[in-house]
């Protein structure tokens, strides 16, 4: 009764975890932020988010099947994450045709020219965002005035009032802390009742989503804590120098894209370091560059650029922070 079997290599059991499950969890983690953006900016926010997911996935399918001729490609949801994250980086009411250009750049130039999933050195969504910021600065800074709760009535009447309002970080740069705080309270900033990109306004929604990822063990706390901690320390120092010009640490924490960047962009698995030590260095680097741009630079916000710069440094950090194998002698450490 001898029976012949095809060859197979150990291990013969595998976890049921998969890349598409991870990506689905990231999408789920972003849902609270999407919901808040609809409350704050109206239905157009949801349209942008859905468009990001659908167009990005369709584009990736086209690139893989037609251009790269990978016949057995099965969509894994990573493009949807990129599309949604890019949408979260846009102001409400952003023109749809420019958004499509942004997705083309994010998925095409940010990801597939490097070889696709897992091979991109830069966070594709941030590549898309920075491209849009540089190419279409006016459209990218045309922020809706937030209308949390007030827009509840107008949700049913389809159109949101198109009134432009500056972001907290923009207000701080223009007119200082005192006058900025006349437009909104810290509670507004925490809940999301402020101007800004779709996904960045509500710290609360982002934290809820991140806790979900932590519970599902898809992320570790090291990068966000190092990133946010560094921002808090540097902003505290500058707060002591001149509170009105530089703002409070809390303002820096809640006022811009820091939460979205630290919790969802800097933690992108592909473009962040592997080791604990590397993650801490990487997070600190993001924090330092963010604060340099916010305080010294001409732009009000620096989260996207700081993460892209640290993406570029990531391979170097990996080299610096090689793990010592189990049983390595101290003097042999490299």
Partner 1 sequence: MAVLTFPGGIHPPEMKELSQSAPLERMPLPKMVYCFVHQNLGAPPKILCEPGDTVKTGQIIAEPSGKVSVPLHAPVTGTVKEIIKMMHPAQKKKLDVIVIERTAKDEWQLMPSMDFTTAGREELYQRVLDAGIVGLGGAAFPTHVKYTSTLVKPADLVIINGAECEPYLTIDHRFMLEKGEEVLNGLQILMKLAGAKKGIIGIETNKPDAIENMRKMASHDDHIDVVGVKTKYPQGAEKQLIYTTTRRKVPVGGLPIDIGVVMNNVGTAVATSQAVTKGIPLVERGVTITGEGINNPKNVLVRIGTPVSELIQYAGGYKGEPEKVVAGGPMTGPALSSTETPVMKSTSGILVLPKPEKQPRPAKPCINCNQCVEVCPMALEPNFLVKLCEAKKYDEAVEMNLFSCIECGACAYICPARIDHVKTYQLAKRVYSTLKGRK
Q: Which is nearer to partner 1, 19 or 155 (CB)?
A: 19
Of 259, 195, 202, whose CA–CA distance to 225 is shortest? 259
The answer to whether 1 contacts partner 1 (rule: CB under 8 A) is yes
Number of residues that bind partner 1 (CB under 8 A): 46
Q: Which residues pair with 164 in a beta bridge?
A: 144
- E strand segments, 155-311: none
Q: Are 314 and 273 in contact (CB under 8 A)?
A: yes
Name residues contacting partner 1, limited to 273-312 (CB under 8 A): 274-275
Among 24, 35, 58, 117, binds partner 1 (CB under 8 A): 117
Q: Which is nearer to partner 1, 10 or 296 (CB)?
A: 10
C-alpha to C-alpha distances, 179 to 34, 97, 173, 307, 311, nearest whole angstrom: 29, 36, 11, 29, 35
Report how far residue 52's alpha carbon sits from residue 187's, in angstroms, rounded to the nearest whole number: 29
What is the x/- site pattern for partner 1, positions 69-98, by CB under 8 A?
A: ---x-x-x-x--------------------
Q: How far is the CB of 235 from partner 1 (least distance, A)?
A: 29
- Using a CB cutoff of 8 Å and minimum separation of 24, what contacts does 145-150 make? 145/195, 146/40, 146/41, 146/184, 146/188, 146/192, 146/193, 146/194, 146/195, 146/201, 147/40, 147/41, 147/42, 148/39, 148/40, 148/188, 148/191, 148/192, 148/193, 149/39, 149/193
Q: Which is nearer to partner 1, 12 or 156 (CB)?
A: 12
The answer to whether 22 contacts partner 1 (rule: CB under 8 A) is yes
Half-sphere exposure of 29 (CA within 13 A, CB side): 25
The Cα angle at residue 201 between residues 309 and 239, in degrees rounded to 5: 70
Please list, in sequence order, all residues whose beta carbon lies within 8 angstroms of the beta carbon of residue 184, skipping any fewer than 6 positions away. Answer: 146, 168, 193, 194
Q: How far is the CB of 70 from partner 1 (least distance, A)?
A: 11
C-alpha to C-alpha distances, 6 to 1, 131, 137, nearest whole angstrom: 17, 50, 59
Among the listed ranges 93-101, 172-180, 296-304, 323-331, the one in contact with partner 1 (CB under 8 A) is 323-331
What is the H or E stretch that residue 2 is in? none
Name residues contacting partner 1, limited to 148-177 (CB under 8 A): none
Report how far residue 99's alpha carbon sits from residue 67's, in angstroms, rounded to the nearest whole number: 22
Among 28, 65, 70, 119, binds partner 1 (CB under 8 A): 119
End-to-end, the C-alpha distance of the chain in Å comes to 55
Among the listed ranges 51-59, 85-93, 265-273, 297-305, the one in contact with partner 1 (CB under 8 A) is 265-273
Q: Which is nearer to partner 1, 36 or 64 (CB)?
A: 64
How many Cβ atoms sit within 10 Å of the Cβ of residue 207?
16
Strand, coil or helix: what is 218? coil
Q: Which is nearer to partner 1, 150 or 324 (CB)?
A: 324
Q: How far is the CB of 217 from partner 1 (least distance, A)?
A: 8
Q: Which is nearer to partner 1, 78 or 151 (CB)?
A: 78
Q: How far is the CB of 50 from partner 1 (least distance, A)?
A: 24
The answer to whether 331 contacts partner 1 (rule: CB under 8 A) is no
Name residues contacting partner 1, limited to 198-237 (CB under 8 A): 218, 220
Q: How far is the CB of 213 from partner 1 (least distance, A)?
A: 12
Among 8, 134, 138, 241, binds partner 1 (CB under 8 A): 8
Among 272, 290, 306, 311, binds partner 1 (CB under 8 A): 272
**Residues in the site for partner 1, rule: CB under 8 A?**
1-15, 17-19, 21-22, 72, 74, 76, 78, 116-119, 218, 220, 269-272, 274-275, 318, 322-329, 332
């Amino acid at each position: 009764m001898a029976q012949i079997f095809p060859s197979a290599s150990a291990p013969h059991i595998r976890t049921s975890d998969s890349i598409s499950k991870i990506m689905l969890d990231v999408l789920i983690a972003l849902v609270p932020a999407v919901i808040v953006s609809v409350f704050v900016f109206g239905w157009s926010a949801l349209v942008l988010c859905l468009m990001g997911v659908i167009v990005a996935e369709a584009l990736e399918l086209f690139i893989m099947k037609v251009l790269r001729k990978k016949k057995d490609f099965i969509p894994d949801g990573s493009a949807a994450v990129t599309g949604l994250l890019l949408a979260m980086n846009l102001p409400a009411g952003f023109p749809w045709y420019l958004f499509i250009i942004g997705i083309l750049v994010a998925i095409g130039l940010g990801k597939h020219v490097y070889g696709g999933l897992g091979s991109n050195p830069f966070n594709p969504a941030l590549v898309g965002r920075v491209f849009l910021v540089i190419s279409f600065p006016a459209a990218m800074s045309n922020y809706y005035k937030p209308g949390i709760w007030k827009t509840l009535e107008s949700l049913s009447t389809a159109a949101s009032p198109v009134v432009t309002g500056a972001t907290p970080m923009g207000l701080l740069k223009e007119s200082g802390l005192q006058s900025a705080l006349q437009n909104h309270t810290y509670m507004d900033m925490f809940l999301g009742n402020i101007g800004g990109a779709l996904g960045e306004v509500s710290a609360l929604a982002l934290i809820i989503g991140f806790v979900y990822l932590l519970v599902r063990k898809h992320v570790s706390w090291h990068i966000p804590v190092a990133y946010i901690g560094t921002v808090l320390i540097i902003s505290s120092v500058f707060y002591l120098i001149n509170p009105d010009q530089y703002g409070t640490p809390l303002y820096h924490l809640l006022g811009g894209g820091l939460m979205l960047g630290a919790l969802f962009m800097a933690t992108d698995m592909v473009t962040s370091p592997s080791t604990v030590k590397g993650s801490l260095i990487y997070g600190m680097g993001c924090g330092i560059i963010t604060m340099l741009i916010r305080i010294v630079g001409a732009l009000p916000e620096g989260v996207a650029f700081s993460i892209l710069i640290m993406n570029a440094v990531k391979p170097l950090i990996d080299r610096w922070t090689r793990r010592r194998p189990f049983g390595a002698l101290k003097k042999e450490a490299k």
